[in-house]
Amino acid sequence: MRIRSVAVLLVVAVACRQAETLDQRAARMAGESAAARQAIDAINANWARFSTAGHTDSIAEFYHVNAMILPPNQPPVRGRDSIRAFMAVINTMSSPPPILNVWADSVWASGPLAVDVGPLDLRLARRRKAAPGRPRGRLRQVHGPLGERERALAHDGGHLEQ
């Protein structure tokens, strides 16, 4: 009887805890977003460095094993190994390898998930005939937990403009 009373009291105490207010939620999410932005900015800085050096294996490691990317005007690419192969093909588009720079304009996080939106800039090696412009666009990425202090890309997609 005593154990049952304690169990009921514990259930009631948990059920009656005060819910998070809107201000508390906004403060929590602002803190989580700031922490996520630091991790995302580090990934983006390394992305440009690895892209410049043609290290597709290092870029693929940013993605979760079951990640999906949505390249413009192409079918979805699913899985880290397929993403690695896709990035390897992109690196053969020019010599030296193309440079893809991405920035996070906005970051939203709640718990272990974060979303960032920002511009991308793809630079190809110059050819004899100059292209009308270099591709630019917007990129949206979803980041999930990889470890206690690391994030992995779970999904990215965007569009290019000329």
Question: Is 4 contained in some domain?
Answer: no
Q: Apex CA 119: angle with CA 134 and CA 89, to 5°?
A: 55
Query: Can you give the pTM of this predicted structure?
Result: 0.70
Question: Is 45 contained in some domain?
Answer: yes
Where in the sequence is the domain holding 145, given as residue range(s)? 22-161
C-alpha distances in Å from residue 20, one per residue of 13, 17, 47, 57, 58: 16, 9, 37, 42, 40
- Interval 54-97: pLDDT, tens: 888 998 888 888 888 888 778 889 999 999 999 888 888 777 77
Tell me how many domains the chain contains. 1
Q: How would you classify the pairing of strands 63-70 and 151-161?
A: parallel
Quote the CA–CA distance of 122 and 62 in Å, as a whole number: 18
Q: Which residue has the tokens 């800085």?
A: 45
Question: Is 32 contained in some domain?
Answer: yes
Question: Is 78 contained in some domain?
Answer: yes
- Interval 115-137: pLDDT, tens: 888 887 777 766 544 444 555 66
Where do the H-state alpha helices sit in 18-93?
22-53, 56-60, 80-91
**pLDDT reading at 151 higher than 80:** no
Question: Is 8 contained in some domain?
Answer: no
Quote the CA–CA distance of 125 and 65 in Å, as a whole number: 31
Question: Is 148 contained in some domain?
Answer: yes
Question: Is 151 contained in some domain?
Answer: yes
Question: Is 14 contained in some domain?
Answer: no
Q: CATH number for the domain including 37?
A: 3.10.450.50
Q: What pLDDT does residue 19 have?
A: 81
